[in-house]
Amino acid sequence: MTDEETVLSVADLTVTIGTRRGAARAVAGVDWSVRAGETLALVGESGSGKSMSVLAATGLAPRAARVTGDVRLLGTDLATLSAARRRRMRGRHVGFVFQDPMTSLNPVLTVGRQIGEASEVHLGLTRRAARARAIEMLELVGIPSAAERVDAYPHQLSGGMRQRAVIAMALVCEPDLLIADEPTTALDVTTQAQIVELVADLQRRLGTAVVWISHDLGVVAGLADTVAVMYGGRIVEQGSVDAVFAEPAHPYTAALLAARPDPDANVTELVTIPGTPPSPLELPEGCAFWPRCSVRGDSRCERELPPLVPVAAGHQVRTFYPRQSTGEDR
């Protein structure tokens, strides 16, 4: 983790959120890191802790959340920084794209102003220079007639255009890391593909590291270098995209992959995983996936938390019963 190239690394990250019904463990000890130019995908169902782990690492967790663990951004331990210094890292070194471009833009400010304002704060640009910079950024993300669109309000743009504007906003200070929190979920399929393509293209050109949070395995497969599958606040499987997708070792990952709709197969019903994810209010002592697991080994799974162990080089899994890497019954 002390790699020169490492942009962001988190170690033993936990997030506990105080609620009326007790403490909820949204993230229960997570390690991951992302290097320059690389894309890490965090995959999981809603409530698996994938977004929360990223928000907490970058200081955007809700106020009720207690965050512990070691977070290093560009080699700096964020815990040693003052709140103001931590704030200045955001926007300057880390850019964010959130899920819904309809709600993540301020309705009463022009897109140009919203794109430019981070460069005013972090790069010291004047308002005029920031506006020029915003036009450049709009061109970079492929918005036609950028010089006019810079003065448009969010409601005057289509969903895809807005998400492009949000990406322009995130990249305006040329950050080292781009965090994309389900950026295509709220878009239609054609637009989704364009946004994925755009981010991949910008990443190649700018050398930005990307953390892509998604539940869409199809998007992840085409985009990411490494993938971390999260369940119940923990990483259950981690490795290169090729290894994890070709030879899923955790029953959960295998079930997720099996649940992907296959356009060629002539099926009338979608494959699902029975049951629901555990509540972060009462995470089980042992493996969180045990109640839904198809392998469902002995009572050891119920009592004891399996450690994250390597199954191959750069491929780790948290289960007592890793699937054999035969590649069959996928």
Partner 1 sequence: MTRFILRRLLQSGIVLLGVTLVVFLLLQLVPGDPVRVALGTRFDPETYEALRSRAGLDQPLPVQYASYVGQALTGDLGVSFRSGRPVTAIVLERLPATLSLAITAVVFALLVAFPLGVLSALRSGSVFDHAARVFSQFGVSVPDFWMGIMGILLFAGVLGWFPPSGYVALTEDPAGWASHVFLPAVTVGLVTASILTRFIRSSVLEVLAEDYVRTAEAKGLPTRVVVVRHVLRNALIPVVTVVAVQLASLLGGVIVIEVLFAWPGVGRLTYDAVQARDYPVLQGAILLVAALFLLVNLLVDLLYARLDPRIRVR
Give me the residues that bind partner 1 (CB under 8 A), please.
58, 60, 87-92, 94-96, 98, 100, 103-109, 117-118, 121-122, 153, 155, 166, 169
Distances (CA, A) of 209 to 6, 204, 230: 9, 10, 20
Contact between 323 and 251 under an 8 Å Cβ cutoff? The reply is yes
- CB-nearer residue toward partner 1: 93 or 318: 93
State how far the Cα of 14 lies from the Cα of 26, in Å rounded to an integer.
8
Q: Can you say whether residue 236 is alpha, beta or left, with left for phi > 0 and alpha for psi between -120 and 50 degrees? A: alpha
What's the closest the beta carbon of residue 231 comes to partner 1, in angstroms? Answer: 25
Residue 136 DSSP class: H
What's the closest the beta carbon of residue 108 comes to partner 1, in angstroms? Answer: 5
What's the closest the beta carbon of residue 115 comes to partner 1, in angstroms? Answer: 10
| Three-class DSSP category at 65 | strand
Contact between 141 and 164 under an 8 Å Cβ cutoff? The reply is yes
Strands (DSSP E) contained in the chain are: 6-19, 22-35, 39-43, 65-73, 76-77, 94-97, 177-181, 209-214, 226-231, 234-240, 309-312, 315-317
- CB-nearer residue toward partner 1: 41 or 111: 111
80: tokens are: 């040693």
- CB-nearer residue toward partner 1: 87 or 300: 87
CA angle, 288 then 50 then 321, to 5°: 35
- CB-nearer residue toward partner 1: 51 or 238: 51
What's the closest the beta carbon of residue 244 comes to partner 1, in angstroms? Answer: 29
What's the closest the beta carbon of residue 202 comes to partner 1, in angstroms? Answer: 18
State how far the Cα of 171 lies from the Cα of 94, in Å rounded to an integer.
9
- CB-nearer residue toward partner 1: 91 or 306: 91
What's the closest the beta carbon of residue 90 comes to partner 1, in angstroms? Answer: 4
Contact between 256 and 293 under an 8 Å Cβ cutoff? The reply is no
What's the closest the beta carbon of residue 148 comes to partner 1, in angstroms? Answer: 15
- CB-nearer residue toward partner 1: 61 or 288: 61
- CB-nearer residue toward partner 1: 118 or 202: 118
